[in-house]
Structure 1
Amino acid sequence: MKRRRKKISAMKPPTGRFIQAEVSSICESEGLNFFDDRISVKFRIENYADVEHEFPVYSSDDIDFAKLVDCTLGRSEQETTIRLQDLVGLKCGIKVEYVLRNGRLILDVVDICSLDELAEKQVVLLAK
């Protein structure tokens, strides 16, 4: 009996709108300074290539790790201690855009939302 492998698409996800994504892997990296610590998260998007984003652990102009925790677990990281691996397998909505970094055009996560907010945004988009 022959087994067929499921084909995995390497298509780029649509930009400019929120899409559902699942946290497939997560790891922490320490920077040179206290405020340079980052958490690298890989999002799996159905029928599209994976998207990786590095969240600053501490607040900055970018979306920060606390927003990811709030959108996936429904609570802030300050409320309780969480393990990074608790986030693996959880779903949220992400918005991706092409961003120019170090002279290279890369696909990056520019915003994040909870599944409830994602459903509301999709209803509004369909109504237009």
Structure 2
Amino acid sequence: MPLFICHCPDYPNNLETRLANRPDHLAASVKDKEAGNSVFGRAFLSNEVSTHTAGSPHADQPKGMAGSVMIYRYPTLEDAWARIKADKYWTGGVWDKEKVTVEEIIGNPIDETIKVQ
């Protein structure tokens, strides 16, 4: 089944909205993992708190969350987009809808996590 990488930047200065919607987003992520649709998912950090600019991880990294990146396994690009648009971060106004991208990626046949099935 194809793999899709989803890059979902947050609207600027939107941490409070992100944190308010986070429990629902994480609950859906658990269901995605159990169903075999989620391969990987993490928040990404703003440059102000990232390790490459700050030198080492900060205890306040959650305050620097600036978006999400996920790898999903779905039959079609439309299915991957439907999953993104059903996410609480989309419906709750966390992700900047004009900047979200979903692209198919090539799986690695020797990697058990990211191989195409």
Q: TM-score, normalised by structure 2?
A: 0.26
Whose helix fraction is larger, Structure 1's or Structure 2's?
2
Higher relative contact order (CA 8 A, sep 6+): 2
Bigger share in strand: 1
